[in-house]
Amino acid sequence: MGVDLRQVVAGILTITMFVMLGQMLHRDYFDAVQVQGDAHDIVFHGSKVALEEDGLVRTSEGPWMENSHQLKPCWSISQPDEAVSSKGYVTFSLTNGPEYHISQITDAVMVAKHLGATLVLPDIRGTKPGDEMNFEDVYDVDKLVKSLESVVKVVKKLPSHVSLRDIAIVKVPSRVAEDYIKEHIDPIFKSKGNIRVTTYFPSVNLRKLSLDAETDPVSCLAMFGSLELQPGVSDLVESMIQRLKKSDGRFIAIDLRVEILEKKNCRETGAVGSKTCYNAQEIALFLRKLGFGSDTTIYLTQPRWESSLNILKDIFPKTFTKEAIMPADKKLKYLELENSEYENVIDFYISSRSDVFVPAIPGLFYANTVGKRIALGKPQVLVPAEISGSSGLSTDYISPYISKKNHLAYSCFC
């Protein structure tokens, strides 16, 4: 039986069209992607991301690190004869989110301890006027009281006989030391009998003062051993973490908030001309050059989805904000009441427990998240940078807090 040459040619053309169509669909998966030069490179808005030699993007891959062993507290608190004695009261509030709460409670405990005062349970205040919550709405009261029982006495509220007019407001620098308390705060306390402490932040870095510097054990206890989420919030965070881990068993948390990226201090460069903040496109490129596959699960601290994040989701389709992974029956309480404190807390504790943490924004959120991760044995904190070549090693971008072991957490854990 003869073969019709025209049928053969038509068959070849048909196969060729299907191959071309498949290649076009693969390219369309990436937003604004063009193939130029070497067929094994993808050009993404002028920057190259190396692919495998066969031209395929590998999924479920990446430079994941195993967790190190969970560290143990090195601090030791002596048991004084009058651990719960008091000569007056120290009051304070928790403000501006959990990354500040940690520092604020540490300073308040340090002041109360070294003054021999009773600590009054704080309230929690948001950024908007009238945005107030009780401590127990977010944190575990019993845990706080029990953890501090050998250091200071904690009461839920001021006695009725103490007038607010009798309380002096005292500003203290973050990481306040015993010498400062004795010199600057003790005279005021002796004069007024009661004080209200507010913490200010000369710096938001949490580096050790020196490599061999020792941290006050009371400070270590307050910073790493006093605050725990109350059961309802803790269970919610755990359920969201499990949803993120469902597909691949691991995920990346990225502190990326569009509102902050748009502020002036984020648009400026650092002292040596380096960038200080990174947008969604830059973070996507950074992660791809480090070798994270397109199937990687990503959690963003951004409150609600914004169109500027689409480019990140194009490269990593499994990218979520909290509204996408929070159980529906929890959204009314935790997302829809315009109370950002719950959302900030959720972001902080998910970022502390993710397999990888990437801070697109510098600041105290980054510093205190690293501190909790050090204590939990989760060292993979990758600080973004512009990678000049087509790829990079993730170990070159580990946070200096961890690579140099200069975070003050290393003074508290061993």
Picking from 358, 193, 215, the residue whose alpha carbon sits closest to that of residue 282 is 358
Q: Report the pLDDT value the prediction gives residue 69, as an integer from 0 to 100.
A: 75
Residue pLDDT, tens place only, 309-338: 999 999 999 999 999 999 999 998 898 766
CA 353, 358, 362: angle at the middle one, nearest 5? 110
Q: Report the pLDDT value the prediction gives residue 228, as an integer from 0 to 100.
A: 96
Output the six-digit token pair for 374: 């050090």
* Token pair 């169109």: residue: 307
Q: What are residue 167's DSSP bridge partners?
A: 194
Rounded to whole angstroms, how far apart are CA atoms 224 and 134? 21
Q: Report the pLDDT value the prediction gives residue 71, as an integer from 0 to 100.
A: 82
Q: Is 235 in a helix, a strand, or coil? A: helix
Q: Report the pLDDT value the prediction gives residue 33, as an integer from 0 to 100.
A: 29
**Residues with Cβ within 8 Å of residue 390, at least 6 apart in sequence:** 41, 48, 49, 50, 289
Q: Is 63 in a helix, a strand, or coil? A: coil
Least confident of 48-62, 206-220, 356-370: 48-62
Please give the model's pTM, rounded to 2 decimal places.
Answer: 0.81
Q: What are residue 254's DSSP bridge partners?
A: 300, 358
Residue 414's identity, in one-letter code, is C
Q: What are residue 173's DSSP bridge partners?
A: 200
Q: Is 54 in a helix, a strand, or coil? A: coil
Least confident of 197-201, 271-275, 341-345, 400-404: 271-275
DSSP for 101-138 reads HHHHHHHHHHHHHHHTPEEEPPEEE-SSTT-EE-GGGT
